[in-house]
Amino acid sequence: MNCEFCGGKTEKKKVKRQHWLHGKLYIVENVEAEVCSECGERYFHAKILDGIDSLLESTHKIKERLEVEVVSL
């Protein structure tokens, strides 16, 4: 597909995504996305996002836990 912002070509890649669900933040690795080769914008199919939701809502393996800093500008 072409990027909505810059018109550049996107390519399929596996990326790491910050994903919010029910007020909790998750880092999900190995997520399929279309990534713009020009500006780096990432596009996720709704089907992939629904898949993440259902994985997180069911019993799943936790690879690692991170402590996250919240800051303000």
Enumerate binding residues for Zn ion (CB under 5 A). 3, 5-6, 8, 36, 38-39, 41
Q: CB of 28: closest distance to Zn ion in angstroms? A: 22
Q: What is the Cβ-side half-sphere exposure of residue 36, based on CA atoms within 13 angstroms?
A: 13
Task: Give 33 or 36: the residue with its C-beta nearer to Zn ion.
Answer: 36
Q: How far is CA 73 from CA 7, 70, in A?
A: 31, 10
Q: Which residue is nearest to Zn ion (CB)?
A: 3
Q: Name the residue nearer to Zn ion (CB basis): 40 or 57.
A: 40
